[in-house]
A = this chain, B = another copy of it.
């Protein structure tokens, strides 16, 4: 399989974690968002949406959208599972993942930042306030669903990491990048630490990729 990825892309981060958890060897092809490499004709042929990540199977099928890719990986390589076996548990984990993927992350993407910058000409302080607002709103929503829920364990759902944790760590990474303290959301803080202690998560982190710029690498 080939993964089209960019070190800083939080959606790519999600798929990298899933591939690591399932121990699937993958050729990684770097698409430099900062150089607009995702807008080239070559990449548009792979993913007409011109978004990252994309996964190309050994048969040449192109998969797009990180959550759809992870579902595919979970269906075709079931061990270890990234979703619970019961429908209610699956719905909870999917719901938690979608809070990040459909509510938090879309407002923080480079294309939105570009619009705020170029079309709306917002000041830096307004752009920072925008990012902080949506990042915090998603943290509040996640903590509200996680704290005190009987299904919450070491991880978002029980004691094995899964799809919800994959999305949670990406969102927490965005929060940490903004120097947002996690202390108001202790359940998220605890789960993030538990997940990032696992090599499958740590090796997938934006600061640890082969295309990570030297200045952004974990010290």
A44: chain B residues within 8 A (beta carbon): 144
Contact with B along A91-116 (1 / 0, CB 8 A): 11011011101110111000110010
Q: Is A48 an interface residue (CB 8 A)?
A: yes
A174 within 8 Å of B (CB atoms): no
- Contact residues in B for A32 (Cβ distance below 8 Å): none
Q: Which of B94, B111, B112, B115 contacts A71 (CB 8 A)?
A: B94
Asked if residues A99 and B49 are in contact (CB atoms below 8 Å), the reply is yes
A190 within 8 A of B: no
Binds B, one of A34-42, A60-68, A176-184, A198-206: A60-68
A133 to B115, CA, bound (A): 9
Q: Is A189 an interface residue (CB 8 A)?
A: no
Contact partner of A72 (CB less than 8 A), chosen from B68, B71, B88, is B88
Closest chain B CB from A151 CB (angstroms): 10
Kindly list chain B residues whose C-beta atoms are within 8 Å of the C-beta of A216.
none
Contacts of A120 in B (CB 8 A): 120, 122, 126, 130
Interface membership of A1, Cβ < 8 A: no
Tell me the smallest distance from the CB of A88 to a CB of chain B, in Å: 5
**A27 CB, min distance to chain B CBs, angstroms:** 19
A-B contact pairs, 25 of them (CB 8 A): A44-B144, A49-B99, A49-B141, A61-B88, A64-B95, A64-B99, A65-B95, A65-B98, A65-B99, A68-B94, A68-B97, A71-B91, A72-B88, A72-B90, A72-B91, A75-B87, A76-B87, A102-B105, A106-B106, A107-B107, A107-B112, A111-B137, A115-B130, A119-B133, A120-B130
